[in-house]
Structures are given as structure tokens and as C-alpha cells.
Amino acid sequence: MVTIRLRRRLRRFLGRLLAAALAALVVGVATWLVVHWLYPWPYRGEVEAAARAQGLSPYVVAAVIRAESGFRPQSVSHRGARGLMQVMPQTGLWAAEQMGLGKITPEQLEEPPLSIRIGTWYLAQLEREFGSVPPALAAYNAGRSNVERWLSQGVWDGSQEDLDRIPFPETRRFVAKVLRDAVWYERIYGR
């Protein structure tokens, strides 16, 4: 009698344990799928290589691409910015010359490897100029001269903690979104 009761208890226990393990597996897989759907990373190899070459965080570059184009290479903004990193044609032509790539066409900015390479180079230039990521991101979105003016006039101190003082709402949202998403990219894809 004791062994029959013990066997039944053991079977129930193992059944519950198996059910719990299966439920945890399903939740884990579902979570992984949702997280990777929300934070995709196409072109990861190109992003990591370009970021490494420019001394940038690949997570910040991925977050910029997510914010700018949603990883759609043929994306063109209402202002004419093109490609994954939404580089303005004039900026792209200037950057390509500076990088020694020669003359490019605006349409070439829609080619993922070139968009990533030029956009990452430009973002790195802005980070070197402004000394940190938040003002570089603000300049990437609103333009160098605006950020220079905000900093020189004391409108914004350039810090992440002071983002609410950025005068342009679009730029304020862009910088906050990229910084937040970069943290998520690192959590999800970091080593």
C-alpha cells in the first residue's frame, strides 16, 4: 500500500514538474520571439564592423537605424533623408568625399552597406566633435549648428539627464528613444 501511494505521489509530482518545465519553455520561447520581433537586427555584421571601425557602440548604431528607418533600406523621409540611417543626400555626398569614397548618388544611400558605413562615420564625427553620445545624436537629428547653439547658450548641457531641455520635441524624443533602445539592444544581443 505504501509503495502504491508513493508511486502515485511521485507520478503527480513528476507530472506537475514536467508541466511547469514545459510552461517555462513556452514562455521563454515566446518572450525570445517577441523581444527579437520588437528589436530586430538585420545587417548586424555590417553594423558591428562599421561601429568597430569608427569606435562607436554597435548598439547605438542599431538603435539609430531602428529609430530612423525601422531597418527599411529604401526608406526616404519627407525631408529627403535616405536609407537605413536616413542620411540627407548633401551630408552623404560630403561624407563620402571625406571618407575617400568619391562621388556617390543620393540613390546609393539606400544601399545598406553604404548607408551604414556613411551614417556610422558621420555619427562618429559628431561624437568626436561634441564629446559624448547624447549631443552627437541630437546633432544627427537636428543638425550641428542647432546643437552648437543650444550648448553655447546654455539651453541644454548635453547630458542625458537634461534631455527635457532640448528645444525641438522631435529631437528630444529621438535622442531619448535611441539611448533607451541602445540599452535594449545590448541586453538582448550583448555578450
* Active-site residue list: 68
Residue 18 vs residues 8, 9, 14, 15: alpha-carbon distances, Å? 15, 14, 6, 5
Please report how the helices 112-130 and 133-142 are oriented relative to each other, as an axis angle in degrees rounded to 10: 120
* C-alpha span between 39 and 36 (Å, rounded): 5
Residue 65 vs residues 4, 19, 59, 95, 161: alpha-carbon distances, Å? 63, 41, 10, 18, 23
* C-alpha span between 121 and 142 (Å, rounded): 17
* C-alpha span between 139 and 171 (Å, rounded): 9
Which residue type occupies 168?
F
Cβ–Cβ < 8 Å for 154, 113: no
